[in-house]
Chains A and B, each alone.
Chain A
Amino acid sequence: MKDAAAVAAVLAGDVDAFAVIVDRYRDAFTRYAVRMLGSREDADDALQSAFVRAFRHLDRCRDPDRLGAWLYQIVINECRTLATRRSRRELRLVRDDPEVDGTSVEPDETDPPLRSRIESALAQIEVGQREAFILKHVEELSYEQMMEITGLGEAALKMRVKRARDRLRELLEGVRHE
């Protein structure tokens, strides 16, 4: 069943046809959500919320043949909202909780694997920059595709990718000798 046929079936009242859409796009968005949110649990929530939202508003998908791009927009918005809300919560925790001031943390004796260090650095950069970096370099989308799904202009996206790269370079200084 093609995307347009699945959308038409759901709009005609066949709720089970939505399972075809879920099955087709779930894996494509999972890696993005996990990298963006830094945890599989949060990605699970964000994707579930995104697909339910997509079901609710499926009649607003203007071009069912481009369903994937439309779904991507919803996933990106959901991840952005969750990441922003979480970063505010974490910021407040750091500011409010005297035990979480970072000074009493014992250094880890074992050197964490490279991927964990990159993920940890990625989690520290601004949400919009992280989003642009992941779409460009991890998901390997073109700027044209990124513009379509984020609604941002090319100059803004290029600048965010550049700032993300610069910030990651600072955070990972010493890990990689260029």
Chain B
Amino acid sequence: MNDHAGESFDEKDAERHQPDARDHAFAEWLAAPLRTPERLDMTWDERVMSAVLAEARAGNSPHRSSTVGRAGWWTRPRTLAFSPLGGLAVAAVFAALVLAGEWCARWLTQAGETMSSAVAAVRPAPDTVHMVRFVFVDPTAEGVYLVGDFNGWSKEATRLDSTGEGGAWSVSVALESGRHEYAFVVHGPSGERWVADPYAPTVRDEFDTESSVVVLGGPASARGAT
């Protein structure tokens, strides 16, 4: 017995309900009018390729994540052979590197505490700042703004710049680690509209307005900005 999304069935069920000639005729009557071809509007290809180019510019090209080529040499497992004496020498160098690393980390932590103590006193959690590039594509847009919990949902604070190609707009914003909600406010011929990022998870607030979510840092990190 299998169960998919609350439906129960088994092989015998499927066999028992083999379609007969009447079922086939009914299905054909239903499906025939639905087989007429459909076409998207003329600008669709252009819009998709604009979005793809924007992705590539934002660093989301698939070849960047490939381990083949530039980055592969150090992620690929390798076997190294050492003589006993060579092994001792390598162990000594490794131990020295670890101790030096610990000393550097301690020094940097102390320096960091001194330099950012005011911020740390208010917000103790953040440990990393991420530069996040937000990209929005709409050839009809006359202006695009980024709103989010990081800028107090201000509709004027963070304007996206037009990249000059295919209606793509982008802006890079420094965000602290953690979860952030955001959306785009798009100015166009029909006025101003609020748009959630179509390529990120969304949430709805108490007014049923949809916003997007980006989670930065940590194991649960999810890329939301396009």
Interface residues of A, Cβ cutoff 8 Å to B: 10-13, 15, 18-19, 22-23, 26-27, 30-31, 34-35, 40, 43-45, 47-49, 51-53, 55-59, 114-115, 118-119, 122, 128, 133-134, 136-138, 152-156, 158-163, 165, 168-169, 172, 176, 178
Task: Determine whether B13 belongs to the interface, using a CB cutoff of 8 Å to chain A.
Answer: yes
A53-B63 in contact (CB<8A) = no
B9-A56 in contact (CB<8A) = no
B198-A49 in contact (CB<8A) = yes
Would you give the shortest CB distance from A129 to chain B, in whole angstroms?
Answer: 9
Residue among A30, A51, A137 with the highest chain B CB neighbour number at 10 A: A137
Would you give the shortest CB distance from B202 to chain A, in whole angstroms?
Answer: 9
Closest A residue, CB atoms, query B31: A137
Would you give the shortest CB distance from B191 to chain A, in whole angstroms?
Answer: 19
- Chain A residues, Cβ within 8 Å of B127: none
A56-B62 in contact (CB<8A) = yes
A15-B53 in contact given A10-B62, A30-B38, A59-B65 (Cβ < 8 Å): yes
Contact of B33 among A53, A115, A162, A178 (CB under 8 A): A115
Would you give the shortest CB distance from B193 to chain A, in whole angstroms?
Answer: 15
B199-A52 in contact (CB<8A) = yes
Task: Determine whether B206 belongs to the interface, using a CB cutoff of 8 Å to chain A.
Answer: no
In chain B, positions 4-52 with a C-beta closer than 8 Å to chain A are 4-5, 7, 9-11, 13-14, 17, 19, 22-23, 25-31, 33-41, 44-45, 47-49, 51-52
Q: Chain A interface mostly helix, strand, loop or mixed?
A: helix
Q: How far is the CA of A172 from the CA of B66 in the complex (A)?
A: 51
B62-A57 in contact (CB<8A) = yes
Would you give the shortest CB distance from A27 to chain B, in whole angstroms?
Answer: 7
- Chain B residues, Cβ within 8 Å of A47: 40, 44, 48
B62-A22 in contact (CB<8A) = no
Closest B residue, CB atoms, query A121: B30
Q: How far is the CA of A6 from the CA of B17 in the complex (A)?
A: 43
Closest A residue, CB atoms, query B28: A137
A59-B62 in contact (CB<8A) = yes
Closest B residue, CB atoms, query A13: B63
A56-B60 in contact given A137-B31, A155-B14, A165-B27 (Cβ < 8 Å): yes
Contact of B29 among A15, A23, A40, A176 (CB under 8 A): A176
Would you give the shortest CB distance from A159 to chain B, in whole angstroms?
Answer: 4
- Chain A residues, Cβ within 8 Å of B56: 15, 55
B38-A13 in contact (CB<8A) = no
Contact of A30 among B26, B33, B34, B40 (CB under 8 A): B40
A156-B2 in contact (CB<8A) = yes
Contact of B27 among A23, A34, A137 (CB under 8 A): A137
A15-B52 in contact given A27-B37, A137-B30, A155-B13 (Cβ < 8 Å): yes
Other than the given A44-B40, A155-B9, A178-B22, 5 more pairs (CB < 8 A) read A15-B53, A26-B44, A137-B28, A155-B11, A156-B2
Q: How far is the CA of A163 from the CA of B8 in the complex (A)?
A: 12
